[in-house]
Chains A and B, each alone.
Chain A
Amino acid sequence: MLNLTERQWVKHTVFHVFEGFDDLKWKKQGSVKISFIILALFFFGVIADGRLYGYQFRFPDDKIFNIVPYFVKSVVLFIVWVVGNRAVCSVLDGEGSMKKIWIYCSYALIPYISQLYINVVLSHILVQDEYIFMLIIKIIGTLWTGILLLSAVKAVHGFSLAKTLFAVLLTLAAMFIILFLLILLLSLIQQIYVFVYSVFSEISYRIKV
């Protein structure tokens, strides 16, 4: 019963929206390697979505390609989600470990990532009047991933549905706090750097004189 390879497990979880992750947990499956591949695909998908769209839909916002915003929008966001979820759910008596949350949530991203690539390709084939098709694909992909994420959180922690929704809300709040602290930390580090640098240059001038 359900003796699947790693790749077949990915397919199983994506297409069995409600019980796929429960099966995954029951069989103690899930591969870190595949989750990293999915994350890389997510990263490149977000870049493609931002830069490679057909010009009949939109032009890239800026002339100079900067990779940092895309990295934040994909990888950093995912890491923050996982960390936030782990933090919140360990308080709520969730069973999931960090590794499991990471793997399950990355599997759940697959419909959204496919939607990104499909739409980038379609944007070079369709014209503005036919945008509705791309919109439908986008909505389906996003909703699918949303439901999969809920079901992943539910399965990995062994929650009821109501508790899962509550946990997700708390996770979103936790993500905001983490991002806020990150920004704070970055600006603080920058100021420390400026301070150290000015002290260093001051001393080096004194030594010269």
Chain B
Amino acid sequence: MRKIFAITSLVILTAVFSFQTFCFTAFADEPYDVYNYDSNGSAIPSQAGYTAEKSVSGNSLGISDFSSPNDIFVDADGAVYITDTNNNRIVVLNSELDTVTDIYDTFRYSDGSETTLSKPMGIYISDERDMIYIADSENSRVLIADSECNVISEIKKPESVIYTQNTFNPLKVLSDNAGNVYVALGNITSGAAMFSPSNEFLGFYGANRVDSAPETIDTFMKKLFSTDKKKARQERNIPSAITNFDIDEKGFIYTCTQSVSQYTDILKKINSAGKNIFADKEVQYGDITPVYDSSENTYYHTKITDIDISSGGYINCLDLTTGRIFQYDEECNLLFIMGTKAKQTGGFSNQVTAIESFGDMLYVADGMKNTVTVFRKTQFGKTVHKAISLYNDGLYEEALEPWYEVLRYDGNYRMAHLGISVALLRKNDYEGAMKYAELARSSYYYNKAFEGLRNEFLKKNFPLIIFALITIPSLIFAIKKLRKTHRKRS
């Protein structure tokens, strides 16, 4: 008897203990309030899709500290390239960010002479061509080298009539599958400069449109009364320059624009013809309502400073003002928001510079803390990604189970309500579809489900309805007639 008691108590004790440790791991705390937006555009608490795992500095890696790192690139093997701008070097790390595998600072020409970098701002690696592209800003060139540091070629300021600028200040660089090189330049609003594989200047690519300012009474009056001379002296409407770009697996180039005044074309997805596919998307990127900071008594408006397309097609946007990362799916549905302005891991200074992704990880460079922070996808994040990728592929019914699981984590997740509604609609469960469409506040799917339900009802009760339509009016008519005759008689 005593033995049984001892065993049972032991079992209970271990169960309690393991439950406690389980709780401890399950509720990893973020140094910020995790939130998402509901269908009304108001912020509501949510679950973390990514959690800050660690942040590394140069010191912790055994090399000299980073000095305002400005760009990160991860190649297909998971090697992380960090442009350490003020140290004039490129640091290569493994994907877990614990060992330095290489440091690039000097490159050799074919004749044996050497060249060093000066404030490198951007980096891009083309795996299939084994080429490194470096936006070497102070040297006014884009350096193209192989992985053994041998210079293949350089792109300098183009001698073209179209290129009217005096300076050539490359900030970011990337190349597409055909080997064309795109360079984002400082002080140029006409888009990224585009160069052929043989480094010829081809023109500009992906310029932003001018903000279509609504015609107010003020502008109308100005137009009416200003003379030609006045008009000539007026300020021209110039779009903001693109700040950063990234290319996805299919060859679409995404650009982002960091601007306070610009509202259109903050985020673009450009095809090879230069057309913006996101042009008609009415999405407000970043924080929907301006964030109020009580300590500084100011409102923060989102300024997207870097964009990254991860392997599943998810769009990661880095917000400079609040240090937040906004992740969207390929259809621009907001999935997760993480990061903040704070001193802890997972918080940033007001100088975040770059974001990059590899597998389950996100890397964020901070130009003032001089660190690179690693975010890792949580179980919730994985579930949402699984569901959303099925959903976006049109496999609505297969996505049903993952969406239910998402709701078990976060009962307010709007995309889950929407996904379940669509899936139930496919299964002809109209009442369920209506319920979830109502939760997602989607009139479109509610309408579809309602139409299905109504058709079902009509089909089932058609004879009854016809019968009622014929009998009720005739009954009323008969009663009226009877009354009349009754009245006449009396």
Contacts and interface: CB of A to CB of B under 8 A. Distances in A.
Interface of A: 54-59, 62-63, 125, 127-128
Contact of B447 (A62, A63, A127): A127
B447 A128 contact: yes
Interface in B407-441: 434, 437-438, 441
B286 to A, nearest CB: 23
A57 B40 contact: no
A62 to B, nearest CB: 8
B40 A63 contact: yes
B443 A56 contact: yes
A59 B441 contact: yes
B437 A55 contact: yes
Q: For the side of the interface on B, what is the size category? A: 10 to 19
B484 interface: no
Contacts of A127: 447, 450-451, 454
B40 A58 contact: no
A54 B441 contact: no
A24 B248 CA distance: 76
26 contacts: A54-B450, A55-B434, A55-B437, A55-B438, A55-B443, A55-B446, A55-B450, A56-B443, A56-B446, A56-B447, A56-B450, A56-B451, A57-B443, A57-B447, A58-B443, A59-B441, A59-B443, A62-B40, A63-B40, A125-B454, A127-B447, A127-B450, A127-B451, A127-B454, A128-B443, A128-B447
Interface in B432-474: 434, 437-438, 441, 443, 446-447, 450-451, 454
A127 to B, nearest CB: 5
A125 to B, nearest CB: 8
Contacts of B450: 54-56, 127
B122 to A, nearest CB: 45
A3 B42 CA distance: 60
A54 B443 CA distance: 9
A53 to B, nearest CB: 10
Nearest to B42: A63
Contacts of B441: 59
Nearest to A60: B441
Contacts of A56: 443, 446-447, 450-451
Contacts of A63: 40
Contacts of B434: 55
A106 B437 CA distance: 39
Interface of A is mostly: loop
Contacts of A57: 443, 447
A3 B218 CA distance: 60
Nearest to B434: A55
A56 to B, nearest CB: 4
User: Could you say which of A56, A62, A63 has the most chain B C-beta atoms within 10 Å of its C-beta?
Assistant: A56
A63 B451 CA distance: 25
A58 B446 CA distance: 10
Contacts of B437: 55
A57 B434 CA distance: 13
Nearest to B39: A59
B33 to A, nearest CB: 20
Nearest to B40: A63
Contacts of B443: 55-59, 128
Contacts of B451: 56, 127
A65 to B, nearest CB: 14
Nearest to B38: A63
B416 to A, nearest CB: 18
B435 to A, nearest CB: 11
A59 B442 CA distance: 8
Closest 4 CB pairs of A and B: A56-B447, A127-B451, A55-B446, A128-B447
Interface string B120-144: 0000000000000000000000000
A56 B443 CA distance: 5
A128 B437 CA distance: 15
A201 B447 CA distance: 56
A56 B442 CA distance: 8
User: Could you say which of A57, A59, A62, A63 has the most chain B C-beta atoms within 10 Å of its C-beta?
Assistant: A59
Nearest to A62: B40
Given A55-B446, A127-B447, A128-B447, 15 more contacts: A54-B450, A55-B434, A55-B437, A55-B450, A56-B443, A56-B446, A56-B447, A56-B450, A57-B443, A59-B441, A59-B443, A125-B454, A127-B450, A127-B451, A127-B454
B399 to A, nearest CB: 23
A159 B446 CA distance: 51
Contacts of A62: 40
B351 to A, nearest CB: 38
A73 to B, nearest CB: 21
A141 to B, nearest CB: 23
A101 to B, nearest CB: 35
A62 B42 CA distance: 11
A80 B240 CA distance: 49
A56 B453 CA distance: 12
Nearest to A61: B40
A125 B441 CA distance: 19
A69 B454 CA distance: 34
A57 B441 CA distance: 11
A33 B451 CA distance: 42
Nearest to B450: A56
Contacts of B40: 62-63
Contacts of A59: 441, 443
User: Could you say which of A54, A57, A127 has the most chain B C-beta atoms within 10 Å of its C-beta?
Assistant: A127
A7 B451 CA distance: 40
Nearest to B452: A127
A63 B44 CA distance: 13
A48 B48 CA distance: 40
A132 to B, nearest CB: 15
Nearest to A124: B450
A128 B451 CA distance: 9
A127 B447 CA distance: 6
Contacts of A54: 450
B82 to A, nearest CB: 45
A164 B329 CA distance: 60
Nearest to B454: A127
